[in-house]
Copies of this chain bind each other. A is one copy, B any other.
């Protein structure tokens, strides 16, 4: 903070009110016995000087900063930003401030660096939303043993405190849905492999298919972005491998997949079923409305915070909470109807494409 006309301190207030610092402290923190008269005088002085407590000093004296840290990877993505929203809210309601520290990249080193920065700030605990193997999570937890931590993106069997979404189960739900519709040739577009959650999902998809002696007919990796979903779908189509359904790692990539299929004149769900993951705000309004797996990140954020808070209040045994996502059936999935494509649909595509081109050529590029 910059020096204006000097911020008032407890001592200033005490002086003006003619009482001791401690009394002012008691009034400000509404704890301990203070006579109504004194309280009024103090409050008055607080108002006059526009006193604002100094939480740094308070934290130093109390040995508790009333702040928590959130170490997360790219906060501009859907999941982290939704999580942040839930965490901040829960924290604020409990009187905690939130310090955000982005984990730049993957791996133990990056996470360690981010958490260290938070520890320097004396956060009372940390929430860690970065992909970490079971082993690495344990290592982080050990290395920062004096700072309670709750992980949000680690394998469910990690020996650390964690609040997780049951990715395996969610993925299984998606795969089972396709199976029940009668699909047997299923491809997938998954997220980055170094994302732990994605690994669980791949597993979930695979296991369900395996139960029916099936397997994914093709896989492509994206980076969560719509553009990467598009590229992945294009690659899938280019491979020539026939498939009637695609499991997609998140709804954003699904947008790209939908587009790629559309460009090829493939009808969704007539020719290809597409199922996403997340249920973002736009998913219900895409064309077609996207069948997907719902994940409630803000709520997960709140749960994670309260888990952390419990850890702060009284040490509990390490535990992992798993929240099961749900299947949301919309219009992007249906029974497979191989080889029954309607002729006039292709005609439509051509006409529509033509219209768009006309729209585009009138104005130059970007």
Does A98 sit within 8 A of B, measured CB to CB? yes
**Top 10 A-B pairs, shortest CB-CB distance:** A334-B359, A4-B146, A331-B356, A81-B81, A76-B85, A329-B363, A259-B285, A226-B282, A226-B285, A255-B282
Is there an interface contact between A84 and B88, defined as CB atoms closer than 8 Å? no
With A56-B59, A334-B356 given, can you name 16 additional A-B contacts, CB distance below 8 Å?
A2-B312, A2-B315, A55-B121, A76-B81, A76-B84, A76-B298, A89-B102, A98-B99, A98-B101, A180-B362, A252-B282, A327-B363, A329-B362, A335-B358, A342-B351, A344-B348
Mark each residue of chain A from 120 to 134: 1 if its CB lies under 8 Å from any CB of chain B, else 0.
Answer: 111111000000000
Cβ contacts under 8 Å, A36 to chain B: none
Which of these, B121, B255, B270, contacts A286 with CB under 8 Å? B255
Using CB atoms and an 8 Å cutoff, list the residues of chain A in contact with chain B. 1-5, 7, 52-57, 59-60, 63-65, 67, 74-76, 80-82, 84-85, 88-89, 92, 97-102, 116-117, 119-125, 145-148, 177, 180-181, 225-227, 229-230, 252, 255-256, 258-259, 262, 267, 269-270, 273, 281-282, 284-289, 291, 294, 298, 312, 315, 326-335, 342, 344-345, 348, 351-352, 355-360, 362-366
B362–A2 CB distance below 8 A: no
Closest chain B residue, CB of each to CB of A301? B76
Main secondary structure, interface of A, reads mixed
CB pair A362–B181 under 8 Å, yes or no, is: yes
Set of chain B residues within 8 Å of A363, measured between Cβ atoms: 177, 180-181, 327, 329, 333
Count copies of this chain in the complex: 2
CB distance from A312 to the nearest CB of B (A): 7
**With a CB–CB cut-off of 8 A, which chain B residues contact A334?**
355-356, 358-360, 362
Residues of chain B contacted by A315 (CB below 8 angstroms): 2
| 19 residue pairs A–B, Cβ–Cβ below 8 Å | A1-B123, A1-B146, A2-B147, A5-B145, A52-B116, A54-B122, A55-B122, A67-B121, A76-B82, A81-B81, A88-B102, A98-B101, A181-B362, A227-B285, A256-B285, A269-B359, A329-B362, A329-B364, A345-B348
Cross-chain contact of A119 among B1, B146, B230, B298 (Cβ < 8 A): B1
Minimum Cβ distance to chain B for residue A298 (Å): 7
Contact of A120 among B53, B121, B229, B358 (CB under 8 A): B53
Given A5-B146, A345-B348, is A360 in contact with B230 using a C-beta cutoff of 8 Å? no
